[in-house]
Structure 1
């Protein structure tokens, strides 16, 4: 497979996605489209799991390549990664762990138009890694002004509930982590609330790489984005803030357009880094589910770590959460949800992941408030439902009395019409 890609890469830089994805035509359930580029090319994602397309209480990781059209190495390496995992499932322990314990999503190219044009931006010549909403400066706050590739990623993140991710770039050799910018736009170290965890994740990639950690420019082969050079509208900061997704920006090749003969070497240098980073989702961190004590049903509560100003949400279907944390620390973990009492417990996170479930008690004034829950985990107070229904009933009776009074006063209606009007409207059913 790599030989095919090398030859294709060596002789042409024209768009070749239909050819590449035909390699996966035997895995129809594994390939989906999350949207289209400006020029109408599908943004195709390969999902690798023992149960692709099915919802499970497992963490999800995504790799994205070719964000910049003139940085094609990521797309080649990600195609090889997908092929390697499929070939080595049940043969290699790391491949088996990834396939059976998580959902891995691979988008080899976010910018097929830019790749076809051999330029950084998309078909509208917009840098997609400057097109996301930014926390410090409003950039394209109106979603209709964002590029279709950007909107596709945003909708995808909101739909899939990713735990962590990485985008692959070219032109340097370093693992970059948030924040990507600073409030005053100056070049400085500007760490996010999970700075320690991000440094751990970046180090997992760098230390597993053939020579990234030996960098003379970047200590340990990792860097804070704002300390390297500030950018605004970047994808990794948006993922962390709005998706609860811990994303790294990985520069995997000093040369943007290396020779075809160098592709096998770049793949081998990055293979263990990509595998170890993805596997870290199940090898470390804290994982569990959140339940309601009175019903035993899973609920989409929030999980926070004391002293870290960020939270993640449990899934609506299973109430499962997956929280990346740097190992070797004590943490106080707190679970909460509206209508329930918050619970907290301390854990010692060593080199292995910690499993921790929460059972939350309903939070009523008298401790006995009963709640109705719909399938989405929404909460409704029984008493409030009763009052709403009572309010509607009183309104209908009032309207009926007004109609009767008008009849008596003005005598404009016949007896038959009066009989028709006196029926009150159908009452809504509260759900």
Structure 2
């Protein structure tokens, strides 16, 4: 009877194996020094690059004519979400020192809904006297709204990315036409720093800084960019050095950041033609070190790959030039967001015993940086420079880590789902499912041959092994169908 119960249990486990949904790959979720670059173009502060150690002169009211006031911007954002309610929503992440809401537009085919998709954020007007970014970000939102049903790039972004747009982080500084916020603090020097113990007291941080930090703790952003003015270059980490000297100081993902920065600069009308910055990009520390910056903090603490984009030599150009500046930056802004879908390694982490999502970690061999999978959907989005082979490992507490090797082509993202096996319990028994077909049947055969020579029992074992083989074939067939219907490469390990 014991043998019969064992065989029946074996057949029951196999039946459960077939009842589970197939797990397959899915498709695409302070030191104050400021530089002003002049390379022959007109500039509010001259045609040569200068370093300022104090607040710059305020632009005249006449020069600001044609720019949206804070009231205009708020109304425009509310009007936008009414006009494009199908793909957008409006929310606030907090208030400025003077109480103005820090409004954000989210653009997605399912705004406000948690999905297994990457998220991107754009932030403008970090410095009050750099208003071009806030104008361009609202133009970006309107362009996507007007074109997402007819332009493939806009459609890709809406359907596969959650795009969050914060046009003005420093509305008080904008009103005063000054760099700092209403408390005279440079918001891009107000974040905790990795090299020096500054800004460690949460209570002393500015409300705008706290709003950003809370925003990232509540939302997982794969990448982001802040829009600045006064130069024309795409800046990437690290922004500072351990000894405060000026030299190239790469972060662990230096190659990936260079790739992302080039996406922006080479899509721009003339950024990549810069005579000062090779290919229109720069490592922050090699340009001029800063400490307490938002860019490095995003990468270290937010798990977010952030660029600092200097998009206009002139900090406050005449409003009549804004349409031209927008056209110069439009494809750069779109292509940077689309890079979350078109490149990198994406996937989910599952448990083999129940097929449930596992909130785990993803690391790449040779890169000292860890990406976290989402707590709910266990999806991860690992940005990497293309044209290389990578060894990717997924892990989760209580499970054996698993590694796979992927090849990233140009504009060819890879989807790699990981199915993890539980580690041995304290009693020494593996908490694994009979559906772990990588070793299916091997320990069972040993047990059967030791206990019986019954030909019928052996035949049942062979049948179970064959059924597991069929299950693997079904999973591979599902993967093959997905590959045929999508240009993205997909693997399940």
TM-score, with length taken from structure 1: 0.82
Q: 2:424 aligns with which of 364, 384, 387?
A: 364
Distance 1:94-1:13 versus aligned 2 partners, 3 A rule: closer
Residues 271-290 of structure 1 aligned to structure 2 (within 5 Å): 271-290=330-349
Indicate if the aligned counterparts of 1:69 and 1:120 stay in contact, CA closer than 8 A.
yes
CA distance in 1, matches of 2:415, 2:167: 32
Alignment of 1:405-416 (within 5 A): none
Between the aligned partners of 1:23 and 1:296, the Cα distance in structure 2 is 44
Say which is worse superposed, 336-345 or 12-21, in terms of deviation: 12-21
How far is 1:299 from its partner? 1.2
| CA gap 1:368/1:13 in 2 versus in 1, 3 angstroms | closer
CA distance, structure 1, for counterparts of residue 283 and residue 319 of structure 2: 31
1:91: which partner in 2? Answer: 150
Alignment match, 1:105: 164
Cα separation, partners in 2 of 1:313 and 1:91, compared to 1, 3 Å: same
1:362, CA displacement in angstroms? 1.1
Structure 1 residues 346 and 170, CA, compared in 2 at 3 Å: closer, same or farther? same
Equivalents in 2 of 1:11, 1:308: separation in Å?
A: 47
What does residue 19 of structure 1 align with?
Answer: 75
Q: Distance in 2 between matches of 1:269 and 1:8?
A: 21
1:168-317 residue pairs with structure 2 within 5 A?
168-317=227-376
* Mean CA deviation greater in 87-96 or 206-215: 87-96
CA distance in 2, matches of 1:68, 1:84: 25
Moved more, 165-174 or 18-27: 18-27
State how 1:62-73 maps to structure 2 within 5 Å.
62-73=121-132
Rounded to whole Å, the distance in 1 between the matches of 2:75 and 2:219 is 27
> Which residue matches 1:136?
195
8 Å contact 2:64–2:316 — kept in the other structure?
Answer: no
Greater Cα shift, 19-28 or 62-71:
19-28
- Partner in structure 1 of residue 489 of structure 2: none
- Would you say the 8 A contact 1:13–1:116 is kept in 2? no
- Quote how far apart the aligned CAs of 1:10 are: 2.1
For the 8 Å contact 1:89–1:95, the answer to whether it is kept is yes
Residues 142 and 370 of structure 1, relative CA distance in 2, 3 Å threshold = farther
Deviations 1:314-362 (A, max 9, x none): 1011110011000001100000111111111111111100000001111
Q: d(CA) in 1 for partners of 2:389 and 2:78?
A: 48
Contact 2:233 2:277 in 1 (8 A): yes
Corresponding residue number in structure 1 for 2:413: 353
> How many angstroms apart in 2 are the aligned matches of 1:87 and 1:367?
59
**SS state at 1:43 partner:** strand
Q: Cα RMSD (Å) of the superposition?
A: 1.7
Contact (CA 8 Å) 1:333, 1:344: kept in 2 or not? Answer: yes
How many residue pairs align between the two structures? 365
Higher relative contact order at CA 8 Å, sep ≥6: structure 1 or structure 2? 2
Cα separation, partners in 2 of 1:346 and 1:38, compared to 1, 3 Å: same
- Kept after mapping to 2: 8 A contact 1:209/1:270: yes
1:10 aligns with 65
* Counterpart contact for 2:81–2:89, Cα < 8 Å: no
2:207 maps to 1:121: no
Q: CA 1:213/1:52 → structure 2, altered by over 3 Å: closer, same or farther?
A: same
Separation in 1, partners of 2:419, 2:186: 45
Q: Counterpart of 2:70 in 1: which secondary structure?
A: coil
Give distance in 2, aligned partners of 1:9 and 1:88. 30
1:13–1:115 contact (8 Å) kept in structure 2: no
Q: Secondary structure at the match of 1:23?
A: helix
Alignment of 1:329-348 (within 5 A): 329-348=388-407
Q: 2-side partners of 1:41 and 1:136: how far apart?
A: 33
- Indicate how the Cα distance of structure 1 residues 11 and 347 shifts in structure 2: closer, same or farther if over 3 A, else same: closer
In the TM superposition, what whole-angstrom CA distance separates every residue of 1:95-115 from its partner, at most 9, and x where no partner exists? 000001110000000011110
TM-superposed deviation, 1:142: 1.4
Deviation at 1:8, TM superposition (A): 11
